[in-house]
Structure 1
């Protein structure tokens, strides 16, 4: 037979013959095996009235078992009879069977994962106990401690109720970016302005002077002004004896250099008379000096006296804290930001946050045009999200 010739189905055979066979009701069936035939035998034969015709869905092997079974009369319909579900009577009811024609389909319920069972866990524990029975537990822990290097500080600060839930991710990303790119504060900050060869008292005074000049002034400008002052031997006595006009010329172009020259003159008088040419060792007395604010006082305590008394919040820390959502409510003044940060930020981070944020604000998160595309916090920064959303709405 050629491959393109289609095999005729039963319906095609009947249509070709021109006969229409309608199903009828079987009134009786005999137990003789010789009168059992397939319905396909109707085609091409006259069809004996004593024959029983079966659907092709039932196999001949199953029909052979009909000899000893009394079959009740049932109607034959042209539509397909939907098979009934036959439940297997099992106590645990884990399986059920469906009889579809001559095919048996088995449905199984989902059995719980045996890996998490208590029996398997107990067996694993016993195996581990026998395996490590020879080596004591203390020796195993000591070997693990040798391989794991202790960290300087914990990665997680438990119990910290921060305004932003991802503040630790912000901090780690800023640390990474600061390590990649140096900032002016790293080489020309106030902590770099003092003369390392001078005595400790003179160095502390120079630290205070650098902080007084740094207000609203770039680090480069402050660093250059400090170098000019150090060429004249920057001490309390030299500033006291120096004319105001000369001091103003040395400070220029520092922002508000005339006011700062006046404050320096007043400050050295107090330091000489009250502190023996040294600076106060507490933030309260430092703030009482002319031209010294809370930010300068806390940074001076950390740099000059190596004491952490508060967070030094300048314009960079103030700006970044609001952009990152590190304050509960937006603040307008740096002092408000300092109070908000000290309420929740761990004390171990107070001395780091100023230097970290100042360098980050000088390089990436700048005041006017922040480089959000280069920032690792662009996907978790509230300000970056608002900025992109605003751009899309304009488009």
Structure 2
């Protein structure tokens, strides 16, 4: 604003005059300092809000939470916890359980010997978050596919071949983990841990990791023992399995949930099991089969997914193990479901391999399998197969033909 405008807007007698210190002939005019008014206070800008996050002190357990909300620092804001749960759900990637893929970790995380602070905070929030009804797991495909032609004939032939073959899943699968425990509750927990470790990992490596983990936590696998062990101890015991850092976090958080919500045991429904960190439909169904003897569906892994598609049992072919599970549960008889997974997994480990399947030693290679090589199948009536568990490269299947 120019000086002329200031002088014209105020009476001259209200201006303050003083002689310039540089020349006595020069007179300087100054505006008087305005006094603050009520109107000025109303138009004053509000203080700027800090962008720093408010830290809320959380109780160490549900028992420490005050009944009436307590002090502001200890209050559990329900909306805040729901928002945290939603953010966790958006970041969470389940393990490869029936098609779920574990999210790969960054290079910085891979160099870190322990879990990040955010994961530890998330682990505590699993207990603090209010319990909600588990999301319902689909049980069959909406299209309700019918049973494929000649599926029972193919199933019986696979069963006949498997009766003469000992596969890794027979001696080192999820059912073997419970053999190291005497308490039924610990047997079920060990089975679940074995299933969580088995994702994207060979049975030989999983079995060794379960044994090492049992020794590292005191000789028995239980939710209490896992919670008492440090993250580093668990990680060192399972470091040979795939995604061991992520699985360390999942096992620790699952143990905490089981300890607080189920007295250290595993629940009896697929929906409740699927609500645990890192547990999907395949793991839940197999855990119920082995642990509780509950027939809850068909557990589908990569072997079952591959073999059933090679046999042409899905029209159109399914793209994920979860889609395969829904199709199979639409028509596979319930009495076959508890043993179906182990039957096909062993078949996929020994004969119907992912790469270079042994079609020349398969009873289905006479036209029953549309994906067969077309070569004349040799007699497998006297097949005997053994596995070399000490081989570092995996099981060695030896097929002997007797004339």
Taking structure 1 as the reference length, the TM-score comes to 0.56
> What does residue 254 of structure 1 align with?
241
* 1:164 and 2:148 correspond: yes
The total of aligned residue pairs comes to 229
Q: Is the 8 A contact 2:205 2:240 kept in 1?
A: yes
- Tell me the alpha carbon deviations over residues 322-374 of structure 1, each in whole angstroms, 9 at most, x when there is no partner: 00111221111100000011111111111121010000000000101110010
SS of 1:234's equivalent in the other structure is coil
Match of 2:370 in 1: 382
1:210 maps to 2:197: no
Post-superposition CA distance 1:214-239 (Å, at most 9, x none): 11111100100111122242211121
Give ranges in structure 1 of 5+ residues lacking alignment: 1-159, 389-395
**1:193 offset after TM fit, Å?**
1.1
| Partner of residue 222, structure 2 | 235
- Distance of 2:146 and 2:204 partners within structure 1: 34
Confirm whether residue 221 of structure 1 aligns to residue 221 of structure 2: no
Find the residue that maps to 1:291 and give its secondary structure: coil
Task: Extract unaligned runs of 5+ from structure 2.
Answer: 1-143, 377-403
Q: Please say if residues 328 and 340 of structure 1, whose CA atoms lie closer than 8 Å, have aligned partners that are also in contact.
A: no
Measure how far apart 1:179 and its partner are: 1.1
Q: 1:251 to 1:387 in 2, by over 3 A?
A: farther
- Give the ranges of 4+ consecutive aligned residues of structure 1 lying more than 2 Å apart after TM superposition: 160-164, 385-388
Q: For the residues of structure 2 that align with 1:237 and 1:376, how far apart are their CA atoms?
A: 48
Q: Is residue 299–residue 312 contact of structure 1 (8 Å, CA) maintained in 2? A: yes
Counterpart for residue 263 of structure 1: 250
Q: Do 1:163 and 1:327's aligned partners in 2 also have CA atoms closer than 8 Å?
A: no
Deviation at 1:242, TM superposition (A): 1.2
Does residue 185 in structure 1 map to residue 169 in structure 2? yes
Structure 1 residues 353-392: aligned runs within 5 Å: 353-379=340-366, 380-384=368-372
CA shift in 2, pair 1:197/1:294, >3 Å: closer
What is the match of residue 283 of structure 1?
Answer: 270
Cα distance per residue 1:279-320 (max 9 Å; x no partner): 111110000000000000001111000010110000110001
Asked if the contact 1:163–1:328 (Cα under 8 Å) also holds between the matched residues in 2, the reply is no
Distance 1:287 1:297 in 2: 6
Corresponding residue SS for 2:372:
helix
Matched, 1:294 2:281: yes
Alpha-carbon distance in 2 for matches of 1:163, 1:235: 41
Structure 1 residue 161, shift from structure 2 partner: 7.7
1:65-80 matches, within 5 Å, as: none
The reply on whether 1:345 has 2:332 as its aligned counterpart is: yes
For the pair shown, which has the larger CA radius of gyration, 1 or 2? 1
SS at match of 1:382: coil
1:52-131 correspondence runs (5 A): none
Match of 1:174 in 2: 158
Distance 1:229 1:195, change over 3 A: farther
**Contact preservation (8 Å) 1:213, 1:222:** yes
Shift of 1:195: 3.5
TM-score (normalised: structure 2): 0.55
- The answer (yes or no) to whether the contact 2:158–2:347 under 8 Å persists in 1 is yes
Q: Please give the alpha-carbon distance, in whole angstroms, between the structure 2 residues aligned to 1:225 and 1:266.
A: 19
